[in-house]
Amino acid sequence: MIQVPRPIFERNSFEQGVALFERLKARGLLIAGAHPNANVDGRADLVQPENKQNLFNLAHQVFLREAGSDPQVVVQSRAFGLRPNRPMPKADILFMTSEGQASQDRMSPLAQHVIQTLQEDGLHVQAIDGSPATAGFEAGSVTQALYLNQTRNKEFLVLWASLRARARYQWQTENLLQESQFRTLGIPSIVTDLHSHLTSLATQSPSPAVPDGLRTLIARYVKYRDTLALQVLPQEWPQFRFARLLEQNSGQTFLLVSTSRSQLPAVANLTALESTSAATVVSDGVHQDRIDHFISSRAGWLEFTPVKKEGAP
């Protein structure tokens, strides 16, 4: 179960929670409905131990109770920022369980899977180990963690994300500036999910070979938002067709690069992480798992190879 107890106060913790829900194929998603300072008496701050009686906690307890003895892990999406006179953690994500476990080996298999998934997505994950940079973060005193004493085979895991890590989950649905840039250049925009769009093309032909010069221009736009790089695309590469796709599930934007020969387009992630912008995900056809991995990892490119027919070497 994914929980977002401070979606308004901790910026992009909501988007991070939704992304984790989809990426981990979680069974539940619980989101607070108010700013933690909405009430003068502090009752809206759901992570405080004294705030026990609310709908958020009730749903949390019912979820764990109805699971019986089945293993479950509750993951809270939190955020950390600058702290005056304290060293900043170098990690993208800090984590700790309600039992104070700082070693993945001692965590449950489900909790280990959460950490491994974050690492696979290119994030630097660090356990809260009592070092000066991680001091002050804890999970055991969070209200929702207190109920675990009444359960069996349950674990509570808190993920604190840095500003950089949270920025990767920021949705682009309201990015009107980018949309206007592409519209001015005559590059159409599509709002759909990437897998459905690629499936609708009804072709399994491989991606076109994208020249290095074209890749360099797109990489320049991704890194610097250099609109001059966009302007050059249709002029210097008239043999290619371009389209901007806004992925309605993840909120990410992609540039589809194709030709007129009914090939699957090569896909460039316009919101790729700088650390993974050079990475390429290769798939032998339109497979949901490979496309999901491309989206969640924020790799730079998705390309397709010819699908091997049965009996072919």
Answer whether 0.75 is exceeded by the pTM: no
Long-range contacts of the stretch 35-43 (C-beta < 8 A, 24+)? 35/8, 35/9, 36/5, 36/6, 36/9, 37/9
Which of the four pLDDT bands, split at 50, 70 and 90, describes residue 149?
A: confident
Cβ burial 12-46 (10 Å sphere, 16+ → b, else e): bbbbbbbbbbbbbebeeebbbebebeeeeeeebbb
Is residue 293 within 8 A of residue 281, CB to CB? The reply is: yes
| Stretch (H or E) spanning 235 | helix 227-236
pLDDT (tens digit, 9 = 90+) per residue, 208-231? Answer: 999 999 999 999 888 888 888 888
Query: How far apart are alpha carbons 196 and 63 in whole angstroms?
Result: 32
CATH for 2-167 is: 3.40.630
| Stretch (H or E) spanning 246 | strand 241-247
Query: What pLDDT does 212 receive?
Result: 92
3-state secondary structure of 94: strand
3-state secondary structure of 222: helix
Q: Kindly report, as residue ranges, where domains of CATH 3.40.630 are found in the chain.
A: 2-167
Tokens coding 39: 């009430």
∠ CA 86-87-88, nearest 5°, is 115
Q: Which residue has the tokens 């250099």?
A: 226
Compute the Cα dihedral for 225, 228, 230, 236 and give only its sign.
Answer: negative
pLDDT (tens digit, 9 = 90+) per residue, 24-83? Answer: 889 999 999 888 888 888 888 888 878 888 899 999 999 999 999 999 999 999 988 777
Long-range contacts of the stretch 228-232 (C-beta < 8 A, 24+)? 230/181, 230/182, 230/185, 230/187, 231/185
SS (H, E, C) 145-185: HHHHHHCCCEEEEEEEECHHHHHCCCCCCCCHHHHHHHHHC
Which of the four pLDDT bands, split at 50, 70 and 90, describes residue 134?
A: confident
C-alpha torsion 118→124→129→134, nearest 10: -110
Which of the four pLDDT bands, split at 50, 70 and 90, describes residue 180?
A: confident
